[in-house]
Structure 1
Amino acid sequence: MAAMAAILLAAYLIRGITGFGSGLISVPLLALFLPLQFVVPLILLLDFTASIVIGGLNFKRVHWNEIGILIPFGIVGVVLGTSLLVNLSPEPMLIALAGFVFVFAVRSVLDIRGDRPASRAWAAPAALTGGTVGALFGTGGPPYVIYLTHRIRDKSDLRATFSALFFTEGLTRIASFLVAGLLMTAEVWTAYLAALPLVLGALYLGGRVHVGLSQAQMTRLVGVLLLVSSISLLFKALNA
Structure 2
Amino acid sequence: MHPISTFDIIAGIVIVLIAFFVRATIGFGSGLISVSLLTIFIPISITVPAVFVLDFLGSILLGAYDFKEVEWNDLSYLLPATVFGLLFGAYILKYADPQKLTIFLGIFILAYVIYAMSIKQDKLPYVKNTIGVPLGFLGGFIGSLYGGGGPPIVAYLQMKHHGKRTFRATFQIVAITDSVFRLFIYTFLGLLTLKALKLSAVLIPPVLIGLFLGNKFHFVINQKTFYYMVMIILSLAATALILHSIF
Which range, TM-score by smaller chain? over 0.9
> Which of 209, 212, 222 lines up with 1:214 in the alignment?
222
Over the residues paired in the alignment, what is the CA RMSD in angstroms?
1.7
Contact 1:111/1:216 (8 A) holds in 2 = no
Task: Tell me which amino acid in the other structure corresponds to 1:49.
Answer: L
Q: Does residue 1:166 correspond to 2:175, yes or no?
A: yes
Q: Does residue 1:230 correspond to 2:238, yes or no?
A: yes
Query: What does residue 199 of structure 1 align with?
Result: 207
Query: What does residue 46 of structure 1 align with?
Result: 54
Give ranges in structure 2 of 5+ residues lacking alignment: 1-8
CA drift at 1:143: 0.7
Q: 1:51 to 1:219 in 2, by over 3 A?
A: same
What CA distance in whole angstroms lies between the structure 2 residues aligned with 1:40 and 1:214?
Answer: 32
- How many pairs were matched up? 238
Equivalent residue runs for 1:8-87 within 5 Å: 8-87=16-95
What CA distance in whole angstroms lies between the structure 2 residues aligned with 1:177 and 1:89?
Answer: 17
What CA distance in whole angstroms lies between the structure 1 residues aligned with 2:69 and 2:144?
Answer: 28
Task: Tell me which amino acid in the other structure corresponds to 1:118.
Answer: V
SS in 2 for 1:117: coil
What CA distance in whole angstroms lies between the structure 1 residues aligned with 2:182 and 2:148?
Answer: 12
Give ranges in structure 1 of 5+ residues lacking alignment: none
Q: 1:178 to 1:90 in 2, by over 3 A?
A: closer
User: Per-residue displacement from partner, 1:144-185 (whole Å, max 9, x unpaired)?
Assistant: 1111111142111001111121012111111222222222x3
Q: 1:231 to 1:68 in 2, by over 3 A?
A: same
Contact 2:82/2:141 (8 A) holds in 1 = yes
Contact 2:22/2:28 (8 A) holds in 1 = yes
User: Per-residue displacement from partner, 1:193-214 (whole Å, max 9, x unpaired)?
Assistant: 2111111011010011110111
Task: Give the TM-score, by structure 2 length.
Answer: 0.90
What CA distance in whole angstroms lies between the structure 1 residues aligned with 2:146 and 2:60?
Answer: 23
Query: What does residue 99 of structure 1 align with?
Result: 107
Task: Give the TM-score, by structure 1 length.
Answer: 0.92
CA drift at 1:108: 4.1
What CA distance in whole angstroms lies between the structure 2 residues aligned with 1:80 and 1:115?
Answer: 30
User: Per-residue displacement from partner, 1:81-137 (whole Å, max 9, x unpaired)?
Assistant: 223234443334211111111122234445634265222231111011111111122
